[in-house]
Structure 1
Amino acid sequence: MNEARSPSGLRAPWDDPSLYERLRQEQESHRHRGRHAHATSSKAPEALDLRLLAPAITCWGSAWWAVGHDGAAAWRPALLLGAGCTALAAALIVPVLRFRPPRHRADPRPGAPERDPGAIGTVSASLLVCALCAATVLAISAAHLWARQRDPLTMALASGRPVTLIGTVSQEPRVTATSRSTLVITTLDVEQVDGRTSSLSATVLADKQWLSLRMGTRVQVRTRLRPTDPGRAEAAIIPKRAGLTILGRPSGVLGAVTGIRTGLAQAVGAPDAGGAQNPGETGDAQGPWPPGAQTLVPGVALGDDHALPAQVREDMRTVSMTHLTAVSGQHVAIVLGLSLAALGVLPRRWRALAGTVLLTLLVVLVRPSGSVLRAATMGAVMLLGVVAGRRAASVPALCAGAIVLLLIDPWQSRDYGFALSVVATAGIVIGARPVAAHLSRRLPRWLAAAVALPLVAQAACGPVLVLLQPSVGLWSVPANLLTEPAAVIATISGLLAALVHPAWPAAAAVIAWPALAACSWMVWVSRFFSHLPGATLPWPKGVPGALALGACEITVLLLVAPRTRRALSGALRRFVRPARGRLAPWQRPEPPAPGASAAHRQDSGGTRPGWRRSSSSVPGRRSSPTVRSQASWRRPRPRTRPPRSRASRPPPTSPTSSTPSCPPPCSVSPGSSTSPPWSR
Structure 2
Amino acid sequence: MDLRLVPAAVAVWAVAAWAVGAGPGAVLVVAVVSVVVGGAAAGRFRALALVAVVVAAVAASTAWRLGDVQATPVAELAASRERVTVQAQVVRDGRVFESVGSQGTVVGLLVLRVEDRHGRVHGVRDPVTAFLRDAHEDLVVGRRLVLQGRLGPPGDHRDTATLQVTRRSAVQGAAWWWSASERVRAGVRSSVDHAPPAPSALVPALVVGDDAALPDRVEEEFRRTGLTHLLAVSGTNLTIVLAMVLAVARAGRAPPRLLLVIGLLGVVGFVLLARPEPSVLRAAGMGVVGLAALGLGSRGGIRALCVAVVALLFCDPWLSRAVGFVLSVCATAGILLLAPPFVRALERWLPRWAAIAVAVPLAAQAACTPVIAAISAEVSIVAVVANVLAAPVVAPATVLGLLAGLVDLVSPAVASVLGTGAAACAGWIVLVAHHAASLPGASLVWSRPWWSLLVLVPVALWWGWRAAPHPVLVVGLCLGLVVAMVRPPSPGWPPPGWVMVACDVGQGDATVIRSGDDEAVVVDVGMEPADVDRCLRGLGVRRVPALVLTHGDADHVGGRSGVAAGRYVGVVLVGRPGVAVDGVPTRTLARGDRFAVGDVTADVLWPQAAPAGSARVRGDLDRNGASLVLRVRVQGVVLMLTGDVGEAEQDRLARSGADLRADVLKVAHHGSADTSARFTQAVGASVATISVGADNDYGHPTPAALRMLRDVGTQAHRTDEEGDVAVIVRDGRLSVVARGSGQRSR
Aligned to 1:254: 178
Name the CA distance, whole Å, in 2 between partners of 1:127 and 1:244: 53
Asked whether the equivalents of residues 204 and 211 of structure 2 are also in contact (C-alpha less than 8 Å), the reply is yes
In the aligned structure 2, how far is the partner of 1:298 from the partner of 1:178?
Answer: 24
Q: Structure 1, residues 253-290: CA drift from partner, whole Å, max 9, x if none?
A: 22222111112211111xxxxxxxxxxxxxxxx5xx54
Residue 518 (1) aligns with residue 422 (2):
no
Within 5 Å, give how 1:114-513 maps onto structure 2: 124-177=45-98, 183-194=104-115, 195-229=121-155, 232-239=157-164, 242-269=166-193, 289-344=195-250, 345-377=253-285, 393-441=300-348, 443-513=350-420
1:670 equivalent in structure 2: none
Q: Which structure shows the bigger proportion of residues in strand conformation?
A: 2
Structural mapping, 1:579-590, within 5 Å = none
- Would you say the 8 A contact 1:184–1:210 is kept in 2? yes
Counterpart among 63, 67, 86 of residue 16 in structure 2? 63
Q: Distance in 2 between matches of 1:134 and 1:180?
A: 49
Check 1:311–1:517 CA distance in 2 against 1; reply closer, same or farther (3 A cut): same
Partners of 1:429 and 1:550 in 2: how far apart? Answer: 18
Describe the superposition over 1:593-630 as per-residue Cα deviations: whole angstroms up to 9, x where unpaired. Answer: xxxxxxxxxxxxxxxxxxxxxxxxxxxxxxxxxxxxxx
1:504 Cα offset (Å): 1.1
1:527-586 Cα offsets, whole Å, 9 max, x none, are 11111102243335xxx84323333212323444549x9xxxxxxxxxxxxxxxxxxxxx
Question: What SS does the aligned partner of 1:305 have?
Answer: coil
Amino acid at match of 2:47: S
SS in 1 for 2:108: strand
Give yes or no for contact 2:339–2:356 (8 Å, CA) kept in 1: yes
CA contact (8 A) 2:102 2:134 kept: no
Paired residue type of 2:269? L
How far the C-alpha of 1:75 sits from its partner, in A, is 0.6
Query: Residue 151 and residue 55 in structure 1: after superposition, are their counterparts in 2 closer, same or farther (change >3 A)?
Result: same
Deviations 1:421-468 (A, max 9, x none): 222111111111112233445655432221111111112222333344
Shift of 1:78: 0.3
- Of 25, 29, 35, 1:80 maps to 29
Percent sequence identity over matched residues? Answer: 35
Say whether the 8 Å CA contact 1:217–1:246 is kept in structure 2: no
Q: How far 1:205 moved relative to its partner?
A: 3.7
Q: Do the aligned partners of residues 309 and 412 (structure 1) sit closer, same or farther apart at CA in structure 2, a change above 3 Å counting?
A: same
Counterpart CA distance in 1 for 2:97 and 2:327 is 22
**3-state SS of the aligned residue for 1:129?**
helix
Cα offset, 1:126, TM superposition: 1.6
- For residue 439 of structure 2, what is the aligned residue in structure 1? 532
- Structure 1 residues 545 and 385: alpha-carbon distance in aligned structure 2, compared to 1, 3 A threshold: closer
Change in Cα spacing, 1:538 to 1:199, as seen in structure 2 (3 Å) is: farther
Unaligned runs of 5+ in 2: 116-120, 470-746
Unaligned runs of 5+ in 1: 1-47, 97-123, 270-285, 566-680
Q: Is the 8 A contact 2:239 2:291 kept in 1?
A: no
Where 1:198 maps in the other structure, the secondary structure is: strand
One-letter amino acid of the structure 1 residue matched with residue 168 of structure 2: L
Question: CA–CA distance in 2 between the matches of 1:333 and 1:54?
Answer: 27
Alignment-mate amino acid for residue 272 of structure 2: V
User: Deviation of residue 292 (structure 1)?
Assistant: 1.0
Please state how far the C-alpha of 1:82 moved relative to its aligned partner. Answer: 1.6
Structure 1 Cα separation of the partners of residues 334 and 106 of structure 2: 32
C-alpha separation between the residues in 1 aligned to 2:429 and 2:287? 27
Q: C-alpha displacement at 1:484, in angstroms?
A: 0.5
Alpha-carbon offset, residue 291 of structure 1 = 3.3
State the TM-score, normalizing by the size of structure 2: 0.57
Q: Residues 27-46 of structure 1: matches in 2 within 5 Å?
A: none
Determine if contact 1:214/1:250 at 8 Å carries over to the other structure: no
Q: Retained in 1: the 8 A contact 2:88–2:113?
A: yes
Q: Specify the SS of the correspondent of 1:225.
A: strand
Equivalent pair of 2:236/2:287 in contact (CA under 8 Å): no
Give the conservation status (yes or no) of the 8 Å contact 2:138–2:171. no
Alpha-carbon RMSD: 3.0
Residue 302 of structure 1 deviates from its aligned partner by 1.4
The whole-number CA distance in structure 2 between the counterparts of 1:465 and 1:448 is: 25
The one-letter amino acid paired with 1:503 is V
CA–CA separation in structure 2 for the residues paired with 1:500 and 1:181:
37
Aligned partner of residue 507 in structure 1, secondary structure: helix
The alpha carbon displacement at 1:250 in A equals: 4.3
Letter of the 1:356 counterpart = L
CA shift digits 1:54-90 (9 cap, x unpaired): 1111111111111112xxxx11000111222222223
Cα distance between partner residues in 2 of 1:183 and 1:359:
33
- Check conservation: 2:16, 2:59, Cα contact below 8 A: yes
1:199 match: secondary structure: strand
Q: 1:65 to 1:482 in 2, by over 3 A?
A: same
Q: Which has more radius of gyration?
A: 1
Distance in 1 of aligned mates of 2:2 and 2:318: 27
Q: Distance in 2 between matches of 1:500 and 1:358?
A: 17
Report the AA paired with residue 181 of structure 2: V
For residue 381 of structure 1, report the CA deviation from its aligned partner: 7.2
* Secondary structure at the counterpart of residue 92 of structure 2: coil
- The answer to whether residue 475 in structure 2 is matched with residue 552 in structure 1 is no
Q: Provide the C-alpha distance between the structure 2 equivalents of 1:321 and 1:77, rounded to a whole number of angstroms.
A: 40
- Give the letter for the 1:343 counterpart: A
Task: Map 1:597-608 onto structure 2 (within 5 A).
Answer: none
Question: Cα distance, 1:378 vs. partner?
Answer: 5.3
* Partner Cα separation in structure 2 for residue 379 and residue 321 of structure 1: 18
CA contact (8 A) 2:141 2:178 kept: yes
Q: Deviations over 1:403-422 (max 9, x none)?
A: 11222222222222222222
Shift of 1:397: 1.3
Find the residue that maps to 1:238 and give its secondary structure.
strand
For residues 475-502 of structure 1, give each alpha carbon's deviation from its aligned partner in whole angstroms, at most 9, with x where no partner exists. Answer: 1111111110111110110111111111
More helix, by proportion: 1
In the superposition, relative to structure 1, how do residues 317 and 176 fare at CA in structure 2: closer, same or farther (>3 Å)? farther
Of structures 1 and 2, the one scoring higher in RCO (CA 8 A, sep 6+) is 1
Distance 1:153 1:77, change over 3 A: same
